[in-house]
Structure 1
Amino acid sequence: MTKRNKIIYWIATLWLALGMTSTGIVQILQIKEEVDMMSHLGYPLYFLPLLGMWKLLGVIAILIPKFGLVKEWAYAGFFFAMSGAIISHLACREYGIELFGPALLLVLTLISWYFRPAERKVIS
């Protein structure tokens, strides 16, 4: 892996981890704005702490060394959660700033996954 790719990987991964950690904590604590948004999107409120805990576990999975298969599941979970968030906002006819956070985290997920080092991949 080139030095350039390693830098890209770690920048994307750390930003992704920061974004997922912060949104996960907000969801676990059920902050009013998050509760209002989830209600507006039509999701049950019991989904908030569950989604938040999954995000925090996913962050741990992508940051610890080894465990390639667990990392793949974490990246898949991040992809599904963020693409689902984008689709949910679009379904509610929200085309503005509401899409920025999930879209940024989706792009960071893809960049981190693509540039991950060989020792962080599933060996087949």
Structure 2
Amino acid sequence: MTTTKRNKIIYWIATIWLALGMISTAIVQLMQMKEEVDNVTRLGYPPYILTIIGVWKILGVVVILIPKFPLVKEWAYAGFFFAMTGALISHFVLGNSFGVYYGALLLLILTVVSWYFRPADRKTVSVNQ
């Protein structure tokens, strides 16, 4: 198997799992399920942040999955990275157990793996001057 083919397989596996994870958590956030509202308020955030994050996650998934728009993809990956590191830090500061924040850690890892292995046509082009 060529390196390019292996990288493409890794990219798509990570990206599909990332998309499924972000969509499923976005749905829970948009539904404002009681457990999710309790979690976010325990972390010190207002419940309306769930709607904002849920909408941005869905938009980010759409951008990452569609072809073209490499610069917008970079922003989506950055948003996922910031959201998941923010969740991890919030849980860590409160002293929550690993079981509470392993989902955010998994989504963070999938974000980094998907970003790192993305094909050339999904990357921004750097021009050296």
Query: Where on the TM-score scale, by shorter chain, does this alignment land: which range?
Result: over 0.9
Match of 2:25 in 1: 23
Q: Runs of 5+ in structure 2 lacking a partner?
A: none
Of 58, 61, 73, the match for 1:59: 61
Matched with 1:123 is: 125
Q: Which residue does the alignment assign to 2:73?
A: 71
Show the counterpart of 2:36. 34
* Correspondence for 1:81: 83
Structure 1 gap segments, 5+ residues each: none
Amino acid at match of 1:108: L
Partners of 1:49 and 1:25 lie apart in 2 by: 9
> Once the 2 structures are TM-superposed, how far is the Cα of residue 98 of structure 1 from its aligned partner?
1.0
Q: How many pairs does the alignment contain? A: 124
| 1:16-69 deviation digits (Å, cap 9, x = unpaired) | 000000000110110111001001101001111010000000000100000000
- Report what 1:13 is aligned to: 15
Structure 1 counterpart SS, 2:77: helix
1:9 deviates by 0.2
Backbone CA RMSD of aligned residues: 0.8
TM-score by length of 1: 0.98
Task: Specify the structure having the higher radius of gyration (Cα).
Answer: 2
